[in-house]
Structures are given as structure tokens and as C-alpha cells.
Amino acid sequence: MKDPKIIIALDYPSAAPAHALAERLQPSLCRLKVGKELFTASGPALLEQLMRRGFEVFLDLKFHDIPNTAAQACKAAASLGVWMVNVHALGGRKMLEASREAIAGSTRKPKLIAVTLLTSMAQEDLSDIGINVTPAEMVLRLATLARDSGLDGVVCSAQEAALLRKHCGNAFCLVTPGIRPEHASLNDQSRVMTPQAALQAGSSYLVIGRPVTQAADPLQALLDICKDIGVQE
Ligand code: C5P
């Protein structure tokens, strides 16, 4: 079976534009990411419809709660049949282990990954909440915790991929947003990497939103990226 490296972020307020885009893309070339906005608006029915179209779905709800609650949320996500689900590593070892155990017996076990540190958090934001290490140290620490708790991987910036690949091993899954093909608009992203560079740095999956979702021809934009990373249709 194909294992497309590209995950298209469906950052939409409702189901209609998400379906309109899905209709123009191909499940053999990409997976789809549904986050808090779209899932809150459209719920499990949308996931079912996207999966019926043949797409695998990353449910990006970043669960962060007491161990039992986070674990049960992961179990509920697994029962929806999603391919990937995530939690915050800041929830701690007990929460990470409970989440992993909760989905272990699922018929279709999703990949369980952790968010390390939100990239919106800078040094002063860490100081504000009483954390006195650098963001880079924090990311490494949380990624190591996720790996030691038996999770499949983390979401991280492509800039961190090489370091995390070295520390966390080849089997660890690194999911990287902030990807921009050469010449694409940066939008509001600042530290970006091209798809090829991110894969070379050790990224396992590339989360790409606007360069595809806002393209005049989204399928062509996706095909161009596939060509850049050496994937044939
Ligand atoms: O449109 P763009 O390619 O910038 O979309 C990137 C996607 O990745 C969005 O869904 C965004 O929320 C998500 N993301 C990110 N940076 C992170 C974590 C998630 O851009 N650190």
C-alpha cells in the first residue's frame, strides 16, 4: 500500500469547502488533516465522508487532559477509524502512556503522536509559565518523553527534524508543518523549509495547507510537490 508523505491541512470553517477540496485531490497522493475548527463545526460525519472518499485522516485535536480523559478521547478517535491522532506531550508521562494503552486494542490502531511545544511559544512565553529552559531544550525533552512513553512520534518544526531524528531513532515518526515549496508565499509562517529539504532533514510526513488549499489548481499544486519529492502519480 502507498504511504503518501503529504498531509493536506483542511483549515476550513465548515464541511462544504473541505469536500470541495477533497473532490479535487487524490487519496493515493495525500492524506488529510482535520483540526479543531473543522471538527468542531462538522464532527465525525465529515471524517466518515472523507474516509469514504478513500482518504486517511489525521485528527489533529491535540488532546491535553487528565490521563483517563485524554485516553478515552484517543479511544473514541480510534473508533472513528482515523489514521493518526495526537495529544500534548505536556500532559506528562502518565497521560501519554494511558493514551497509548487506550488505543492498543483498536481494530485499526491509529498512529499516536505528541505535540511537543507549540511553535507559537517563544522563550518569554516559557518564562511566563515558569519554564526556564530554551524552546529547543524543551522540544527535545518532550520528544524523548513521548518516545519513552511508547508513542509513535511527534509534530515538530522541520528545523528540529534532524536533531530529533538523531535522538529519537529512525522508527520515530516526525510530522512537520511549516512547509513551503520554493517560490510559494510564506503566508504567516516564518521558519519554513521546502518539502525536499524537510524530508532530507528526517521528516516522515509533511503537513501542507495553503500552498495547496489556496492554489488555483490544488491538484496541480499537489502534483508539483509530489514531483519535487520524487513521487510518481
Ligand atoms: O497553510 P499552512 O501550510 O501554513 O498550514 C499548516 C498547518 O499546520 C496548519 O493546520 C497549522 O495549524 C498547522 N501547524 C503549524 N505549525 C505548528 C503546528 C501545526 O503550522 N507548529
Quick: pLDDT tens for 125-183. Answer: 999 999 999 999 999 999 999 999 999 999 999 999 999 999 999 999 999 999 999 98
Helix (H) or strand (E) holding 52: helix 36-52
Domain that holds residue 219: 6-228
Atom of ligand 1 nearest to the CA of 33: 10
Q: How many domains does the chain have?
A: 1
Q: Let me know if 62 is a catalytic residue.
A: yes
pLDDT at 1: 55
Is residue 156 assigned to a domain?
yes
DSSP alpha helices (H): ranges in 179-217?
195-201, 210-213
Q: Is the CB of 135 under 6 A from ligand 1?
A: no
pLDDT at 154: 98
Is residue 233 assigned to a domain?
no
Angle at 68 between CA 63 and CA 69, to 5 degrees: 40
Which of 11, 116, 212 for mutating ligand 1's site (highest number of atoms within 8 Å of CB)? 11
Q: Is the CB of 160 under 6 A from ligand 1?
A: no
Q: Is the CB of 189 under 6 A from ligand 1?
A: yes
pLDDT at 7: 98
pLDDT at 2: 82
Q: Is the CB of 220 under 6 A from ligand 1?
A: no
User: What predicted TM-score, i.e. pTM, was given to this entire model?
Assistant: 0.96
User: How many A from CA of 208 to the centre of ligand 1?
Assistant: 7
User: How many A from CA of 170 to the centre of ligand 1?
Assistant: 24
Is residue 116 assigned to a domain?
yes
CB 133 within 8 A of CB 126: yes
**Which stretches in the chain have pLDDT values below 70?**
1, 233
CB 188 within 8 A of CB 178: no
Is residue 88 assigned to a domain?
yes
- The CATH number of residue 44's host domain is 3.20.20.70
168 contact partners, CB below 8 Å, separation of at least 6: 143, 144, 147, 154, 174
Is residue 97 assigned to a domain?
yes
Is residue 1 assigned to a domain?
no
Is residue 179 assigned to a domain?
yes
Is residue 215 assigned to a domain?
yes
